[in-house]
Structure 1
Amino acid sequence: MEYTPMEKDVLAMMQRTDFKNLSKGDVISFASKIGELRPEVAKEVLAQFQSLLD
């Protein structure tokens, strides 16, 4: 998946190359930026977070 410049900025802030295998800390650190992500990317991120809670 090709990320938008804003999504790349979030990844850079988190020092990551993609949104796979996020930890709880990762999710919390960028939660304030989730509204700036494309909806399909935000859904993937939230799905990763949900899997941490299961």
Structure 2
Amino acid sequence: MNRTLIDIDDALPAFAQQRLDTRTKRDTINRARALHWLQANADGFLDFEVFEARERAGR
């Protein structure tokens, strides 16, 4: 992996760090990428019907 330096507004990563509860910009980006992947791929490996049934049952 290559290291790339870019200029960004410090307020943007600070906001994301606060929302994602991370300490570093690297952790913030990695968590955001993981959440994006999970959102895009959740249907392939999560059974939402089971989750809904458990929620209805109060578990």
Give the structure-2-normalised TM-score: 0.30
Q: Which has the higher contact order (CA 8 A, sep 6+)?
A: 1
Higher gyration radius (CA): 2
Give the structure-1-normalised TM-score: 0.32
